[in-house]
Amino acid sequence: MYALAEELFPITRSLTGPGYRETLHRLEAVAGPMQQHRFATGEQVFDWSIPKEWTVRDAWVKDAAGATVVSLERSNLHLVNYSAPFSGRLPLAELQAHLFSLPDQPDAIPYRTSYYKDSWGFCLTDTQRRELPAGEYEVLVDSDLAPGHVEVGEVVIEGESDSEVLFSTYCCHPSMANNELSGPVVVAHLARLLREREQKPRLTYRFLFLPETIGAVAYLSRFGERLKDNLEAGFVVTCIGDPGDFTYKRSRRGDTLADRAAEHALGHAGHPYELLDFFATGSDERQYCSPAFNLPVGSLMRSMYATYPEYHTSLDDMSFISAPALGDSLRIYNDILAAIEANEIFEATHPYCEPQLGARGLYPTTGGASLDALHLPDMMHVLNFCDGSADLLSVAERGNRPISELRPVVDLLVSHGLLKRAEATGPRQPSWA
Amino acid sequence: MYALAEELFPITRSLTGPGYRETLHRLEAVAGPMQQHRFATGEQVFDWSIPKEWTVRDAWVKDAAGATVVSLERSNLHLVNYSAPFSGRLPLAELQAHLFSLPDQPDAIPYRTSYYKDSWGFCLTDTQRRELPAGEYEVLVDSDLAPGHVEVGEVVIEGESDSEVLFSTYCCHPSMANNELSGPVVVAHLARLLREREQKPRLTYRFLFLPETIGAVAYLSRFGERLKDNLEAGFVVTCIGDPGDFTYKRSRRGDTLADRAAEHALGHAGHPYELLDFFATGSDERQYCSPAFNLPVGSLMRSMYATYPEYHTSLDDMSFISAPALGDSLRIYNDILAAIEANEIFEATHPYCEPQLGARGLYPTTGGASLDALHLPDMMHVLNFCDGSADLLSVAERGNRPISELRPVVDLLVSHGLLKRAEATGPRQPSWA
Amino acid sequence: MYALAEELFPITRSLTGPGYRETLHRLEAVAGPMQQHRFATGEQVFDWSIPKEWTVRDAWVKDAAGATVVSLERSNLHLVNYSAPFSGRLPLAELQAHLFSLPDQPDAIPYRTSYYKDSWGFCLTDTQRRELPAGEYEVLVDSDLAPGHVEVGEVVIEGESDSEVLFSTYCCHPSMANNELSGPVVVAHLARLLREREQKPRLTYRFLFLPETIGAVAYLSRFGERLKDNLEAGFVVTCIGDPGDFTYKRSRRGDTLADRAAEHALGHAGHPYELLDFFATGSDERQYCSPAFNLPVGSLMRSMYATYPEYHTSLDDMSFISAPALGDSLRIYNDILAAIEANEIFEATHPYCEPQLGARGLYPTTGGASLDALHLPDMMHVLNFCDGSADLLSVAERGNRPISELRPVVDLLVSHGLLKRAEATGPRQPSWA
């Protein structure tokens, strides 16, 4: 994952355009066959209009002596993203209105965009800005804003059921590492892990690579109703590559399968984490959890957006993320996926009193194996609590046990005819609470 | 408020009679036009019977030498309230059965009443009592108990809706300051504040000034059914003038609009406070929250009745309350009122994904105003959570934001057509919980 | 109780057989007339089959020199319970496969059973085992496994209602004191206490003495449907004689009358205690709370099974339990029973405002009795909260008051016509929450 992030890091990405397209292409090589959904400039998607496509070839500011002050070539953060074409000379005083820096972080280049306003600008460190001599400057923004497309890349791994799980991430940020190359590389590898499994999954998995906000809005305008019908759980994957503690932001409903699976996986993963209720700022969960969709979509992050000083600056570089951190993140997302896969509803076939385990070789004889070796407490737990009234995640939570350890015990008991899959009839209330 | 309390302090009040009537009259001068509801002696009000009216002209105890021991003139607490007429001479031993003092608070005159028993008595400090010489004493209680009326003063400020908010306080205590002149003066000024507003309020506000217990019982016997139909929130205002921390006693149901608004206002007021579940002793909330009424009535106090040593003694004098404390109390009651006024149900007009705020000048452009200056997080919060499923107080609590700051943001978004008032259809369940 | 335990201690008990029968007989002398329910060998009870009856006359191991190594006579724990008959000579190496000891507790004889496997064995201290010399040993197990019966002893005390309360304990353990003679002796005495009351109880009480697991399964196979119809609360009484803190294991549903009464009694008893949610291992609550029964059965214990080192060993002897501990345990079980008896639903006859207590001599006059002496706060509490919407336990919990103190106040108010029993219409939701 780290190598893939290194490969993608230098590309000049934006909502649209060649750098974005190139990024999708490289992610497809890992994640698997990717369908492209295209939304044409000017198309109305809910309250939004698809913007023009942006292509930038060159951009720089030179001082009176002809020396380059900042340039796209040095860092693609120097140019305000989606800057309109411009060429001309202007004195420092006028140039200042087009410059952006961070007085509180004098050595960081900020990340700025101007998607929906026809303007241009440059970002630079505050240290450099304060040293700019008076005089005339020459500016070039060699860019196009022309009819084109917003594109969404989608990888689908079909399961036995139409019920779906969504992982959504965004690929529109230029050279920043945690926000946002960590999300795309983790999602691409999660898709690969699932694709490489021998067995068809129980549920259908959908992996989305899109430009933030407009991509999610556009996708939902075309496919939102299908998600409302089929989505069991979803996650916005972002800011997941740094070594900070985990942060899980719940879905708007707060108790969806997404939340239950994520909190279950985190609770048994051994890493420190924080749980946050949904709030209306943030990333694409804003769209998935807009009131009329109200989808079961949460977001597992590490250091959350807007909470760390490197956020949206040139300091969010490849040294801010790490291979081990990306590995742990992939592992927990995979645990969440596994918890969702394992989460069926079972019921005991002998619900009146206990079945006689000994008669089936499932109970220790006098001097025999220890109870623990036979998972006796787990067996008794699932035989009692799996009664068709609640799913296995509820049963696992009730016993404070990881579903990953209970599911094999369930499978053993299914093979002995002591448990069976319950007829699915939607969400139920546990009989024990 | 403090000046009004000073003016009212010396008056000899009781459940009925000239002192009570005089008090109502002076409160009307502040609160506004007051309707008098009269209940005649002997009238049956639920399980109670309206008592005779009490008038007292003079009362004293003189010792054998003719020196005045205690007298109504020195302190109206000296006479047991509602004492029957009496005149005679009796030895100290017999007099003792008619004397009341507090051995644990030897310098306080206790406050005692004998509303429903035909008797007389005097209260004095325990220090004075212990020094009374043996011998014969002369006693005069020049009072009448005669057919008359219990009276309830009511100030109503009509709103656009028949739904009502109630503030109830009592005016039957003689010379004690916190319990109870603080309640009447705060309620009178709260009514004045509301009356002086230019705009008609959304809800109808009812301010009651009555004698404790019998007044509330009588009022409810005549108007209780109307309150059951219309009352959204109500408060018994008592013990609200001392500088102690605030105490909010919840309504019997515990989660009514009264409770939600009071807890919200306290939560954002910056004063220490304590929350108590409803209990069946106390003041007139006992009647409003009797089981068949079970009205949404709580009580915001400062130092609660029966918890401070000055309570029901001559030590609860004008030095025990203060103008700043009364001011803070009025402010919080006004915050509660404002929270209730602001608490409508709104819903987003663009509930599928976010509306494009930038297109409406509501989103910062590149170098523009800061997000905070534009209240962007608040805008996004109300656009997401106002979905017609819950009232604005719920939305404010969900974001841990004061409704007083969210409501202007809501109004701005209403003016941009992004939010609208929801059709009112009674209490709803938030879609997010 | 301690004396009864001493009397029962030496008897060799098992699931079936003469020792078990003898134990029931002696318990009947205390508990009162006991009905015997018999289940014949081979009878199918749910998933189980009634085992053969076990009779043992003698059992020992002798060494090559003819010296007795272990014998039933020395301790009935030496013989693995339900050992099949055997007689023969074998070298130490072969004998070892039939020996059980506890290396971690070298001076304890473990308690082992072999109910459902045809085998024999002996238990001994690890210290003794490690000193056994090589050589040949002679072994005798003079036992029978023959058709017979599993027997359940039942004492019923009829009440005015068919609704039932169950106390279930087990009598199949040989010479161990806390687990399990404490349960039988406490239950026998609880039955006696109830039988000796002059008044017929409101509910019907059922006391079961049975062999663990198979007894409960068998009883439920015959009477389980009746329990589902009538059982209001039940308790498995076990491990209740040692001086450890109390442990209450909730019923599977967690909020049944059993749980509420037990937690209420513990909350006001003044002993330290711990509350545990139901879990699927343990004693006969496993059967009562199997998913298709899901009965309101919890278990009040002191030091819980499998948590103390003496458990299931010879160290759980008469010195591990004590008369004062048994006394406290009986007292709390009796408090629970009394709480259930007192737990009717009442409603105020004057629910609109307070009734006038003074007119009925229930309110202190001026110089009269103190409020507390008249239980005024309790009177006002029950008059307000008893409104036919919730039972007296809820009302008591709402006021944090013991039901044992509120019930006499309720009775006083019933006698004054201010409260009456509500028509019973099943569980209700308190009007105040």
Q: Does domain A54-146 have CATH number 3.40.190.10?
A: no
DSSP 3-state of A421: strand
A48 in B contact zone (CB under 8 Å) = yes
Within C231-281, residue ranges assigned H as helices are 257-267
Mean pLDDT estimate for chain C: 95
Contacts of A281 (CB under 8 A, 6+ apart): B376, B377, B380, B381
Chain B hits for C372, Cβ within 8 Å: none
A223 in B contact zone (CB under 8 Å) = no
For residue B371, the model assigns a pLDDT of 52
For residue C367, the model assigns a pLDDT of 43
Q: Do B353 and A117 touch (CB under 8 A)?
A: no
Query: What average pLDDT does range A149-163 have in this prediction?
Result: 97
* Tens-digit pLDDT profile for residues C120-134: 999 999 999 999 999
Q: Do B286 and C380 touch (CB under 8 A)?
A: yes
- Does the structure show a pLDDT above 90 at C93? yes
* Tens-digit pLDDT profile for residues C145-155: 999 999 999 99
* Tens-digit pLDDT profile for residues C306-329: 999 999 999 999 999 999 999 999
A307 in B contact zone (CB under 8 Å) = no
Rounded Cα–Cα distance for residues A107 and B77 (Å)? 75
DSSP 3-state of B183: helix
Q: Could you tell me the pLDDT band of residue A210, with boundaries at 50, 70 and 90?
A: very high
Answer with the residue of higher pLDDT: B160 or B370. B160
- Does the structure show a pLDDT above 60 at C370? no
Q: Could you tell me the pLDDT band of residue B361, with boundaries at 50, 70 and 90?
A: confident
Q: Which of C100, C279, C291 sits opposite A387 (nearest CB)?
A: C291
Token pair for residue C363?
A: 């309110």
Contacts of C among chains (3+ CB pairs under 8 A): A, B
Task: For residue C194, give how far its alpha carbon lies from the nearest alpha carbon of chain B (Å).
Answer: 35
Task: For residue B392, give how far its alpha carbon lies from the nearest alpha carbon of chain A (Å).
Answer: 15
Chain B hits for C433, Cβ within 8 Å: 253-254
User: In terms of C-beta density within 10 A (0-12 exposed, 13-18 middle, 19 or more buried), how is residue C358 classed?
Assistant: middle
- Does the structure show a pLDDT above 60 at C371? no
Q: Do C385 and B293 touch (CB under 8 A)?
A: no
* Tens-digit pLDDT profile for residues B283-332: 999 999 999 999 999 999 999 999 999 999 999 999 999 999 999 999 99
Which one-letter amino acid corresponds to residue C252? R
For residue B380, the model assigns a pLDDT of 97
Chain C hits for B112, Cβ within 8 Å: 366
Mean pLDDT estimate for chain B: 95
Contacts of B among chains (3+ CB pairs under 8 A): A, C
Task: For residue B114, give how far its alpha carbon lies from the nearest alpha carbon of chain C (Å).
Answer: 6
DSSP secondary structure string, A214-265?
HHHHHHHHHHHHHHHHHEEEEEE--S-SSSSPEEEEPPSSSSSHHHHHHHHH
- CB atoms under 10 Å from CB of B305, counted, come to 19
For residue A423, the model assigns a pLDDT of 80
For residue B366, the model assigns a pLDDT of 53
Token pair for residue A41?
A: 């400039």
A350 in C contact zone (CB under 8 Å) = yes
Identify whether the C-beta of residue B169 lies closer than 8 Å to the C-beta of residue B215: no
Query: What average pLDDT does range C265-289 have in this prediction?
Result: 97
Contacts of C332 (CB under 8 A, 6+ apart): C246, C265, C266, C269, C271, C300
- Does the structure show a pLDDT above 80 at B391? yes
In the stretch 363-382 of chain A, residues with CB closer than 8 A to chain C read 365-367, 376-377, 380-381
A354 in C contact zone (CB under 8 Å) = yes
DSSP 3-state of C13: coil
For residue C117, the model assigns a pLDDT of 86
Token pair for residue A425?
A: 């009839």
Rounded Cα–Cα distance for residues C342 and C391 (Å)? 10
For residue C364, the model assigns a pLDDT of 72
Task: For residue C50, give how far its alpha carbon lies from the nearest alpha carbon of chain A (Å).
Answer: 12
A200 in C contact zone (CB under 8 Å) = no
In the stretch 78-107 of chain A, residues with CB closer than 8 A to chain B read 80, 97, 100
Q: Which of B46, B112, B254 sits opposite C366 (nearest CB)?
A: B112
CATH architecture, domain C54-145 = 3-Layer(bba) Sandwich (3.50)
Chain C hits for A367, Cβ within 8 Å: 97, 100, 112, 121
Chain A hits for C287, Cβ within 8 Å: 353-354
- Does the structure show a pLDDT above 80 at C426? no
Token pair for residue C48?
A: 């189980």
Token pair for residue B44?
A: 């049956």
Q: Which CATH number fits domain A2-51+149-342: 3.40.630.10, 3.30.300.30, 3.40.1130.10, 3.40.50.150?
A: 3.40.630.10
A46 in B contact zone (CB under 8 Å) = yes
Domain ranges of chain C: 2-51+149-342, 54-145, 346-421
Strand C136-146 versus strand C53-62 pairing type? antiparallel
Task: For residue C428, give how far its alpha carbon lies from the nearest alpha carbon of chain B (Å).
Answer: 15
Task: For residue A47, give how far its alpha carbon lies from the nearest alpha carbon of chain B (Å).
Answer: 5
Q: Which residue has the tokens 């006083």?
A: C412
Q: Do C385 and B280 touch (CB under 8 A)?
A: yes
Task: For residue C88, give how far its alpha carbon lies from the nearest alpha carbon of chain A (Å).
Answer: 21
DSSP secondary structure string, A135-173?
SEEEEEEEEEEES-EEEEEEEEE--SSS-EEEEEEE---
**In angstroms, what CA-CA distances link B254 with B142, B305, C44, C303?**
47, 20, 54, 39
B398 in C contact zone (CB under 8 Å) = no
Chain B hits for C386, Cβ within 8 Å: 291
For residue B423, the model assigns a pLDDT of 80
Query: What average pLDDT does range C223-228 have in this prediction?
Result: 98
Among C345, C352, C362, C410, pick the best mutation site for testing chain B contact (most B Cβ within 10 A).
C352
Task: For residue A343, give how far its alpha carbon lies from the nearest alpha carbon of chain C (Å).
Answer: 20
Q: Do B352 and A220 touch (CB under 8 A)?
A: yes
Q: Out of B187-196, B371-380, C191-200, C350-359, pick the least confident.
A: B371-380
**In angstroms, what CA-CA distances link B109 with B74, B99, B102, B304?**
12, 11, 7, 20
Identify whether the C-beta of residue C123 lies closer than 8 Å to the C-beta of residue C80: yes
Rounded Cα–Cα distance for residues B125 and B109 (Å)? 5
Helix (H) or strand (E) holding C405: helix C403-415
Identify whether the C-beta of residue B154 lies closer than 8 Å to the C-beta of residue B37: yes
Q: Could you tell me the pLDDT band of residue A363, with boundaries at 50, 70 and 90?
A: confident
Mean pLDDT estimate for chain A: 95
Q: Compute the CA torsion angle C241, C243, C246, C249 (nearest 10 deg).
A: -40
Rounded Cα–Cα distance for residues A420 and A345 (Å)? 9
Task: For residue C407, give how far its alpha carbon lies from the nearest alpha carbon of chain B (Å).
Answer: 17
Q: Do C280 and A384 touch (CB under 8 A)?
A: yes
Q: Which of B353, B356, B433 sits opposite A220 (nearest CB)?
A: B353
For residue B279, the model assigns a pLDDT of 98
Q: Do A353 and C116 touch (CB under 8 A)?
A: no
For residue C369, the model assigns a pLDDT of 43
**Nearest-CA neighbor of C77 among C25, C138, C11?**
C11
DSSP 3-state of C414: helix
**In angstroms, what CA-CA distances link B25 with B21, B152, B154, B195, C33?**
6, 12, 12, 18, 78
For residue A368, the model assigns a pLDDT of 41
Contacts of A among chains (3+ CB pairs under 8 A): B, C
- Does the structure show a pLDDT above 80 at A370? no
Task: For residue A351, give how far its alpha carbon lies from the nearest alpha carbon of chain C (Å).
Answer: 5
Helices H / strands E in chain B, number of each: 12, 18
Chain C hits for A351, Cβ within 8 Å: 290-292
Rounded Cα–Cα distance for residues C166 and B6 (Å)? 67
For chain C, what's the residue count? 433
Q: Could you tell me the pLDDT band of residue B154, with boundaries at 50, 70 and 90?
A: very high
If you measure CA to CA, which chain C residue comes closest to A371?
Answer: C281
Q: Do B254 and C376 touch (CB under 8 A)?
A: no
Chain A hits for B377, Cβ within 8 Å: 280-281
Token pair for residue B222?
A: 């005549």
Helix (H) or strand (E) holding A249: strand A246-249
Q: Do A355 and C220 touch (CB under 8 A)?
A: no
C194 Ramachandran zone, left/alpha/beta (phi>0; psi -120 to 50): alpha
For residue B364, the model assigns a pLDDT of 72
Q: Do C352 and B254 touch (CB under 8 A)?
A: no
ipTM, two decimals, is: 0.95
Q: Do C387 and B221 touch (CB under 8 A)?
A: no
- Does the structure show a pLDDT above 50 at B362? yes
Token pair for residue A308?
A: 């760390």
Task: For residue C253, give how far its alpha carbon lies from the nearest alpha carbon of chain B (Å).
Answer: 24
Chain B hits for C377, Cβ within 8 Å: 280-281
Q: At what angle do helices A403-415 and A376-385 cross, to 10 degrees?
A: 80
Identify whether the C-beta of residue A332 lies closer than 8 Å to the C-beta of residue A265: yes
Eight-class DSSP state of C245: P
Q: Do C432 and B294 touch (CB under 8 A)?
A: yes
* CATH code for residues A346-421: 1.10.10
Chain B hits for C399, Cβ within 8 Å: 279
* Tens-digit pLDDT profile for residues B38-96: 999 999 999 999 999 999 999 999 999 999 999 999 999 999 999 999 999 999 999 99
Rounded Cα–Cα distance for residues A262 and A296 (Å)? 12
C25 in B contact zone (CB under 8 Å) = no
**In angstroms, what CA-CA distances link B256 with A370, B251, B260, C352?**
56, 7, 6, 19
Q: What are phi and psi of B342, to 5 degrees?
A: -75, -10
Rounded Cα–Cα distance for residues C46 and C343 (Å)? 35
Global pTM? 0.94
User: In terms of C-beta density within 10 A (0-12 exposed, 13-18 middle, 19 or more buried), how is residue B6 classed?
Assistant: middle
| β strands within C51-179, DSSP E | 53-62, 68-71, 86-91, 99-100, 122-123, 136-146, 149-157, 164-170
Identify whether the C-beta of residue B339 lies closer than 8 Å to the C-beta of residue B279: no
Q: Do A432 and C279 touch (CB under 8 A)?
A: no
Q: Could you tell me the pLDDT band of residue A53, with boundaries at 50, 70 and 90?
A: very high
For residue B426, the model assigns a pLDDT of 62
- Does the structure show a pLDDT above 60 at B360? yes
Token pair for residue C379?
A: 């009177």
- Does the structure show a pLDDT above 60 at C244? yes
Identify whether the C-beta of residue B55 lies closer than 8 Å to the C-beta of residue B143: yes
- CB atoms under 10 Å from CB of C6, counted, come to 14
For residue A366, the model assigns a pLDDT of 53
Task: For residue B366, give how far its alpha carbon lies from the nearest alpha carbon of chain A (Å).
Answer: 6
